[in-house]
């Protein structure tokens, strides 16, 4: 199917990315973090939720080829390569946790690095597009990335990833450590990118805000999926409300605690997945 959309953020590729993950396992050496994970990343914005240590970053690393994986991963029906540079060439880009910018380089230089695969002319075109999409960065082209605020750095990191004209953009906790207003801005950017045709897979700890902008969501706990569904339904589900949104009135501090306790009646899948957990 061909797509043409004269909207911002559309930088390349003609087919919306659709990722199918079947029986994915991955970890570090002998330590298996993800076990037999199956999920589908459809065009639009998919969010992965879950407590610290659940394996969310590990999932993005496995999909980016940064760590070895087992199982089937299909990008628009074709086997995803295992090497990172080949995965990037297929149109997948990762904005890693902690942004990974070059702090001693300017905004422009950081963005140029994101477009290393394309010609000079194409790189210039994408750079111009980046400044259309992220007008705040246009005023800061010569600023050293390391001297920018957290939110600005996150914008540079997302803009740099968009310089590779990805069909699938992976964001690992883009709002981490940002002020509420910047959180909203970053999540709105993720939404706009998805609306413009780049499939977005986003890991987030801001459960409520993430579900408000996402189309679909998965909840990962201890390397296993325990719930999934349309974002609006997930937001209303007892799994999310009880474990992550702190349905109790006295839990207004943080969306996710590091050790969420499931107090309400969990869905059947959750009960099965958690096995030994005392409810
Ligand atoms: N480089 C690593 N080497 C060994 N274990 C790791 C490494 N990175 C993460 N882990 C472990 O893998 C598990 C999942 O971590 P991670 O994917 O970072 O979780 P999340 O992103 O959901 O917080 C944790 O138990 C963590 O300690
Ligand atoms: Mg993480």
Domains in the chain: ranges and CATH? 13-91+166-230 (3.40.50.300), 103-164 (no CATH)
pLDDT for 248 equals 46
Q: Considering only CA atoms, which of 170, 212, 203, 215 is closest in space to residue 43?
A: 215
Q: 179-187 contacts: CB < 8 A, separation 24 or more?
A: 179/151, 182/149, 182/150, 182/151, 182/154, 183/209, 184/209, 185/151, 186/151, 186/154, 186/155, 186/158, 187/212, 187/213
Give the Å distance between the CA of 36 and the centre of ligand 1.
17
Structure tokens at 91: 């149109």
10-residue mean pLDDT profile of the chain (279 residues): values are 48 78 96 96 97 96 97 97 94 90 95 89 94 92 95 95 96 94 94 96 95 97 95 90 62 34 32 32
Pick from 53, 64, 69 the residue to mutate for probing ligand 1's pocket: most ligand atoms within 8 Å of its CB.
53
Residue where the block lists tokens 């639009």: 44
- Ligand 1 contacts CB of residue 28 (under 6 A): yes
Average pLDDT of the chain, as a whole number: 85
Q: Is residue 127 helix, strand or coil?
A: helix
pLDDT for 269 equals 40
pLDDT for 153 equals 95
pTM score, two decimals?
Answer: 0.84
pLDDT for 15 equals 85
- Ligand 1 contacts CB of residue 261 (under 6 A): no
pLDDT for 259 equals 33
pLDDT for 8 equals 55
pLDDT for 239 equals 81
Pick from 29, 37, 55, 59 the residue to mutate for probing ligand 1's pocket: most ligand atoms within 8 Å of its CB.
55
Say how far apart CA 268 and CA 48 lie, in whole Å. 20
Give the Å distance between the CA of 139 and the centre of ligand 1.
37
Pick from 24, 27, 34, 58 the residue to mutate for probing ligand 1's pocket: most ligand atoms within 8 Å of its CB.
58
Q: Which ligand neighbours the alpha carbon of 67 most closely?
A: 1
pLDDT for 265 equals 27
Give yes or no for a contact between 174 and 186, defined as CB atoms under 8 angstroms apart: yes
pLDDT for 246 equals 64
Give the Å distance between the CA of 205 and the centre of ligand 2.
9
In the sheet that holds 69-75, the strands lie side by side as 31-41, 19-28, 69-75, 78-79
């Amino acid at each position: 199917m061909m797509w043409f959309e004269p909207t911002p953020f559309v930088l390349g590729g003609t087919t919306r990315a659709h990722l199918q993950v079947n029986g994915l396992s991955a970890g570090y050496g002998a330590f298996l973090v993800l076990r037999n994970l199956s999920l589908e990343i459809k065009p639009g914005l998919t969010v992965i939720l879950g407590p610290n240590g659940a394996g969310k970053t590990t999932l993005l690393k496995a999909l980016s080829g940064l760590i070895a994986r087992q199982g089937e991963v299909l990008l628009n029906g074709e086997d995803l390569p295992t090497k990172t540079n080949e995965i990037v060439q297929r149109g997948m880009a990762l904005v890693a946790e902690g942004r990974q910018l070059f702090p001693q380089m300017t905004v422009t230089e950081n963005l140029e690095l994101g477009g290393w695969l394309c010609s000079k002319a194409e790189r210039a075109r994408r750079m111009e597009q980046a400044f259309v999409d992220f007008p705040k960065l246009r005023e800061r082209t010569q600023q050293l990335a390391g001297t920018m605020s957290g939110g600005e750095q996150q914008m540079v990191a997302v803009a740099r990833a968009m310089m590779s004209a990805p069909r699938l953009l992976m964001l690992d906790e883009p709002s981490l450590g940002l002020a509420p207003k910047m959180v909203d801005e970053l999540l709105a950017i993720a939404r706009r990118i998805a609306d413009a045709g780049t499939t977005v897979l986003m890991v987030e700890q801001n459960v409520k805000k993430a579900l408000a902008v996402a189309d679909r969501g998965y909840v990962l706990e201890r390397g296993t999926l325990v719930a999934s569904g349309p974002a609006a339904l997930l937001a209303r589900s007892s799994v999310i409300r009880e474990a992550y949104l702190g349905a109790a009135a006295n839990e207004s501090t943080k969306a996710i605690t590091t050790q969420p306790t499931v107090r309400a009646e969990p869905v059947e899948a959750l009960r099965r997945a958690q096995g030994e957990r005392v409810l």
